[in-house]
Each structure stands twice: as C-alpha cells, then as structure tokens.
Chains A and B, each alone.
Chain A
C-alpha cells in the first residue's frame, strides 16, 4: 500500500523532445487512478517513470513520502502488467509467476503458496503447467496479472493491458481487474487510451494531452463539469457537439447561432455578462437532445430543425448523426431505439438548457 506523490515531473529526450512538461498528481493509498489521453500525450511515459523504466529529467516522485527518483525499479516494490503481457515464453505459467520470487531467493514453500493462491484468485490453477503459447490472450493477461500479484507490491502499474484483447474480452477483464482491486485494496495506476475504459474503472482519472495534465477528477465530475473544451470533447461517446455563436441580450442573456437561440441558464448568467457581444463556443452532449414531438417534461431550448444523415442502431439505442439548420458540421444525438429514425428524415429537436457548456474561444476553458 502506498501513496504516490508526483510533483512537477518532467521528461526530456536526448533529441530535445520535451515529452512531459511538469505534471502534478496525487494518489492516495488504495486508489485506482487511470491515466488517459490521446496517443502521444505522455501517459505511458509517465507510468514508466513511476516504474523506474524511464529516467526522470526534472521534478520529484515520492512513494509514501520517500524520494524515488534514483531508486532502481526492483527496489520500488512495484509490479507492472505490460500491454503485450511480457510473459517469458519458455517458462510455464508457474515458473513465470515464480520467476521474480526465485530471484529474491524466497523459500520454495512460500513461492508455492503465493503462486497457487494467485492462480486460484485468477482461475489459472489448471494452467500452471502450460506454456504461454498454449494459452489464449485473456489467459495470458491473467498470468501477467498473477505475476504481479505474487510480488505483493505496494503499487500495481498497468500499461494498456487490455488493448490487445477483443472487445468482449476487454469488457470482461475490466470487471475482473476492478474486482481484484476491491479484493486486494492496493494502490493501482492504470494507463489506457480508451476513455470508456477509463470512466468505467477509475476512482480518479487524470486526463493528459501533450505532456500536460488537463484535468484530474472523478468520472462523474469529468462528465458533468469538464474544465476545458478538450476534456469536454474527450469524455463521452459520441463526443460532445460544439457550436460557435454569440452572446446577445434580450430579456436576459441568450446564445445565438445559426438562427437558433438558447437562453443562458441562470447559474451562468453572471459569468457570461462579460462575454456580451463576443463569440463563445457552446457544447451540448448527444445524451441531452430530445425529439420535441415526444419529450414534454424537460426544459428545452427553442426549436432546432435537423436533418438525419446516418443512423447507427446499436441495439437498445440509436446514434443519430444530423445536420443542423443547414450547417455543414455533423452532430449526433442519442435516442432510444423504439423511436427509430431514418436517414433523410427531418425533425424538430430541442436541447436540454440545463446541460449546456460554454467555452472561451481563446483559452478554450470552460466558462463557469
């Protein structure tokens, strides 16, 4: 069990590529923290610096308030699960899991105990004599996890462990890892590029882009209160829809764009004052668009005329991709499948006014 404190961590490569530009993260004991972001954001680099596989160019790393910058990986009491499992192909499952313990010169009996316990937890008991090449991807990943478990580390590190699995297996393993976390109660740092995975698994999510942290928060907060346009567009699938417009004053402040008019929700009336007469970006999530013909209870915006282009019927829901009032941009909204639409259909929708987000055009920050 350990707390991890990352203070102003930096990483520069010999070719002067400035990969990590000063990151602060605070991880509590037993927390499941997810590092997520688009490719090249530095999440794996950050994880490897925590592991000790990459040197730290600047800043400090603390485990339980002890400085770890120059400590050798094997002395940090961590375990890592790699994306391609990194199992030793010539050793059996048992030997793979026992390898590290044998290096530490642990007693055979104790090794046996730990390995069989871990195997049981992961459902690998009958595979202990097999070689990795005789096992499926999911099983191999479990072995990699088992290898981490037997070390009884303070911190578990996961580097995109599910990326090589098929979709269904991914969902299943997600749950298993979360269950494991609940059981072992270890601090876990998990890297993924998949925001759904991040949202599903993390107690706390760190969103990274270009080597900088954009927001660290719980999943719900990231969804409801994104700090900037990038976070807002990164979290949620399908992504948030953005419209560019202007703030005008009639009886109260309004956002107008392309012939649509949205009244500014009361909580934002004050902060929006200074944007009067200026351009702002407005974002609305696909989840909060409603067929005006059907939805009666919510407080919706004024009519918005849309033309459906593509309908993705994924079973219980439909993702409808549409054009708005003749504009070129394609937006999307989610509806229940029972109200199936067809491409080419024109209908009138309204957007939930209490779920609007506004962003400063220059700083891209959320206007709160």
Chain B
C-alpha cells in the first residue's frame, strides 16, 4: 500500500503541487483570519454602524439618529476634557518613555556586572498585569503610602497623589512610564545590537567621547526602532484605560478621564452604546491622523 500510495503522490506531484500549496496556504490562513474577522473586523464595522443610532442594549428597538451622536460628542465639555487629558498624557509619556527606554538599553548593552539581572528587573513590570501594578500603586500613591514616606524623608509634605486633581494624571503617567519603558527597552536593545561595532571604533579613533558616540551614532542608527517605539507608544497612550479604571475611576473631577475611559463610561455606565461607539470611532480617527502625520514628517528611514 505504501509503495502504491507513493506512486500516486509521484504522479500527482508536478501538476498539483501549486494547487496543493495554495490549499494549505488558505487552510492555515483561514482560522486566524476567521478569528480576526469575528473578534476584530466585524465588531469594528458594527461599532461604526451603531454609532449612528441611539443604541441602548435593553431597548426593544433602536432609533436612527444620523450623525447626532457625533454632534453631541463635539458639544460635550467632558469630551474635550478627556481629549485634553489624553493629549497631556501622551505628550508627557511618549518622549520620556522613549528616551528612558533608549537610555536603559544603551546602559544594558555595556558589559557591566549583573546586567542580565537588571535587564530582567526592568522588563518584569512590562509583563506584569496592568491591573496588578495599578492596585500596587494605589497603595504606594496613597496619603500614608510608600511614596509619601520616601518623600517625607526629604522634607516634602504628604500629598494624596490620586485624589489631588493636579497630581492624579501625572501619577498615572509615571506608573505607565515605569511599566512600559522596560518593554521598549528590549526593542531598543535589539536595535542597538544591530549597530556594527566598527562604527563606534571609527568614531573613537576620531576622538568622539562616549556621549558624542551616543548622539552621533547610536541615536541615528536606531531610528527605525525609535519610530516603532514612538508609534506603539502613541497608540498605547491614546488608549490608556486599565490604570484609570483601577486607580481613579476617571476622577477626581474628571482629572484622569481619558478618551478610552470616556468611551467606556458612556457605553457601559450610562448604557448608551451608540454614543459610546461614536466616541470610539472618533478616537480611532484621531489616532489614525496622528500616525499618518508622524509617518509623513518623521519617517523611519532605515539606513
């Protein structure tokens, strides 16, 4: 049977190899595509659809509103607060996170003692659940928590970081910077290791100090990675939700209400799925515009 079957395959090989390849290609692609379609593409289209309705989950029928949801969004002052918070958040987090990640990667790339330990230590927050880190930091940020006792040693008055409207957003920003720098540090490490050593040697011969080497060689050469990190960071910042949900519920007084949290509030707390969907579409649109602008004016340009 084996030999006969082998003969059958041999005879088939030439004519149907291409068809066979295509068959297997589609088979393997089918399942992930189906998953993506069910859980990503179709929901996105559905969201777009319901954003034109006053879609309430428990209502017996849904009213068509046209673009009224969108008009209402742009008239809601909390929407603007959320946008402002998100922009501030992004402007604060992205540059600091990127620079910190690059700096950490640069240090981790040198041959210093215990660097494997430090690399792991920096990376652990990135793989810890954001809910867990948020809960830990609620305790750290509290009025009688760790941060205040450390600062107290330097003579700073205790502050309730999360309920003070001036410090609440910044506190969440700091948490996020700490968490995701480690993740991006790994990306930068990979990029750094792609820089040929001879470039540094040539610069060394020409008299460049370590700092000059960093700015004239390292930074330009990791540009594709920087682009990636900034884009991912931007997108992540625009979508920040977990920490707000766990730590501050958007408060105090909407000081930490971000766009993603605003979507959640309207859709699931106020039972207005249509309005929430419209907000989500607006958020997606903003992210897309920002990414396009970045690609145009700060392209990755690998060398």
A103 CB contact (under 8 Å) in B207, B217, B220, B303: B207
* B208 to chain A: closest residue by CB: A103
- One digit per residue, 1 when the CB lies within 8 angstroms of any chain A CB and 0 when it does not, for chain B 195-211 equals 01011011111111000
Collect the chain A residues with CB atoms within 8 Å of residue B198's CB.
82-84, 86
Q: Are B196 and A86 in contact (CB under 8 A)?
A: yes
CB nearest to A75 among chain B residues: B207
Chain A interface size band reads 20 to 34
Inter-chain contact B303/A90, CB cutoff 8 Å: yes
Known: A84-B198, A86-B198, A88-B199. A51 touches B206 (CB 8 A): no
**Once bound together, how far apart are the Cα atoms of A32 and B187, in whole Å?**
45
Q: Considering residues B204, B220, B221, which has the most beta carbons from chain A within 10 angstroms of its beta carbon?
A: B204
**Mask of A132-153 contacts with B, CB within 8 angstroms, 1/0:** 1100000000000001000100
Is B216 positioned at the interface, with any CB of A under 8 Å from its CB?
yes
Are B196 and A100 in contact, CB atoms less than 8 angstroms apart?
A: no
A3 to B303 CA separation, bound complex (whole angstroms): 39
Interface centre among B202, B207, B303 (most CB of A within 10 A): B202
Given contacts A82-B202, A86-B201, contact A104 B196 (CB under 8 A): no
A267 vs chain B, min Cβ distance (A) = 49
Q: Is B63 an interface residue (CB 8 A)?
A: no
Chain B 157-201 residues near chain A, CB threshold 8 A: 196, 198-199, 201
Name the prevailing secondary structure of the B interface residues.
Answer: helix
Check if A89 sits within 8 Å of B303, measured CB to CB. Answer: yes
Complex Cα gap A100–B223 (Å): 22
| A168 lies within 8 A of chain B by Cβ | no
Residues of B within 8 A of A132 (CB): 303
- A79 and B196 CA atoms in complex are apart in Å by 18
Give chain A residues whose Cβ lies under 8 Å from the Cβ of B294.
none
Of the candidates A83, A84, A103, which one forms a contact with B206 in the assembled complex, judged by CB atoms under 8 Å apart? A103
Considering only CB atoms, which chain A residue lies closest to B197 in the complex? A86
Residues from chain B with a CB closer than 8 A to the CB of A86 are 196, 198-199, 201-202
Can you report 21 residue pairs joining A to B where beta carbons are below 8 Å apart?
Answer: A53-B201, A73-B204, A73-B205, A74-B206, A78-B205, A79-B205, A82-B198, A82-B202, A86-B196, A88-B199, A88-B202, A88-B203, A88-B216, A88-B220, A89-B221, A90-B221, A90-B303, A103-B212, A131-B303, A132-B303, A147-B202
